[in-house]
């Protein structure tokens, strides 16, 4: 998943959970995190802010 390399939020999430999750479960967790961020941006109609 390229977001792990490019997106600092997803990369930090990946690094924090690398010890507990492995392989597909970790990739799925990162994809879900990205999906939740995307949903929130669309639902609230506000630009993404990493500080929130």
Per-residue pLDDT tens digits for 13-44: 999 999 999 999 999 999 999 999 999 999 99
pLDDT exceeds cutoff 90 at 45: yes
Q: In the numeric block, which tokens belong to residue 18?
A: 């690398």
pLDDT at 15: 95
CA 12 to CA 9: how far, in whole Å? Answer: 5
- Angle, alpha carbons 26-22-24 (nearest 5°): 55
Are the C-beta atoms of 46 and 38 separated by less than 8 Å? no
Q: Rounded to two decimals, what is the model's pTM?
A: 0.84
pLDDT exceeds cutoff 90 at 1: no
Of 2, 48, 6, residue with least CA distance to 27: 2
pLDDT at 51: 83
């Amino acid at each position: 998943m390229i977001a792990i390399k490019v997106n600092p939020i997803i990369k930090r999430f990946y690094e924090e959970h690398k010890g507990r999750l492995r392989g597909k479960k970790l990739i799925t967790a990162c994809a879900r995190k990205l999906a939740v961020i995307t949903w929130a941006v669309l639902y609230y109609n506000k630009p993404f802010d990493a500080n929130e």
